[in-house]
């Protein structure tokens, strides 16, 4: 169990309030993956659509196309290269991946993280679990409280940087009725990791 100082709790609450004020959005992103030697090893583009508390669609384009999607109960990961879909329980996935905290600013899973406010618009989210594969999530907001960038540092020293553009605030009603429903691709195998 994690114990937080008042300053940490306040910083966490400030970040949660920023995220609650967004509630949903669509944005395009440019991704750079940087290895531990600070060399760019991959670049791609994509689209992220998110509605709190539990729905998102994260589509990454070439060269490593994939889809990460939540319908509110299950997180689906589709890798078209290997024609495989992996299904995870949403609640378990949030515990392991701090980027999913964007969906649930009021989730109990926040208790497993510390938050540091670096300046008015920049925060770091750090897991308290020393065995976590993700070491740090950094969030940078614009002056209008839109998410400008996300940066994820993993245990191997690799950094994934996402620069967001065309950020548009949205609510669930702004999406088509079945937009967040996952449709199993024809010919794909299912690896069901749900409990």
Domain with residue 18: its CATH number is 2.50.20.10
Residue 141 located in a structural domain: yes
Q: CB neighbours (10 Å) of residue 176?
A: 7
Residue 187 located in a structural domain: yes
pLDDT at 2: 47
pLDDT single digits (tens) 36-86 = 999 999 999 999 999 998 999 999 998 889 999 999 999 999 999 999 999
pLDDT (mean) for 156-179? 94
Residue 146 located in a structural domain: yes
Q: Could you tell me the residue range of the domain that residue 186 belongs to? A: 6-192
Structure tokens at 78: 């589709």
- Cα dihedral across residues 142, 27, 153, 40: positive or negative: negative
Q: What is the DSSP string of 177-193?
A: TTTT---PPTT-EEEE-
Residue 1 located in a structural domain: no
Residue 22 located in a structural domain: yes
Q: Does 4 have pLDDT greater than 60? A: no
Residue 185 located in a structural domain: yes
Q: Does 3 have pLDDT greater than 70? A: no
Q: Does 97 have pLDDT greater than 70? A: yes
- Chain centroid to CA 145: 17
Pairing of the two strands 134-141 and 122-127: antiparallel
Residue 34 located in a structural domain: yes
């Amino acid at each position: 169990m994690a114990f937080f100082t008042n300053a940490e709790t306040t910083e966490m609450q400030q970040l949660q309030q920023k995220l609650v004020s967004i509630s949903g959005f669509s944005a395009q992103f440019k991704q750079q993956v940087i290895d531990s030697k600070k060399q760019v090893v991959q670049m791609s583009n994509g689209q992220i659509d998110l509605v709190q508390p539990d729905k998102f669609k994260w589509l990454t384009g070439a060269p490593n196309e994939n889809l990460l999607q939540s319908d509110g109960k299950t997180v689906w990961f589709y890798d078209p290269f290997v024609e495989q879909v992996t299904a995870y329980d949403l609640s378990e996935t949030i515990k392991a991946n701090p980027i999913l905290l964007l969906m649930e600013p009021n989730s109990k899973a926040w208790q497993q993280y510390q938050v540091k406010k670096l300046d008015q618009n920049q925060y770091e989210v750090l897991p308290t679990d020393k065995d976590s594969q993700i070491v740090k999530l950094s969030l940078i907001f614009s002056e209008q409280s839109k998410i400008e960038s996300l940066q994820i540092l993993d245990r191997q020293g690799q950094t994934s940087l996402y620069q967001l553009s065309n950020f548009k605030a949205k609510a669930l009603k702004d999406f088509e009725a079945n937009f967040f429903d996952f449709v199993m691709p024809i010919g794909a195998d299912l690896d069901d990791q749900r409990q």
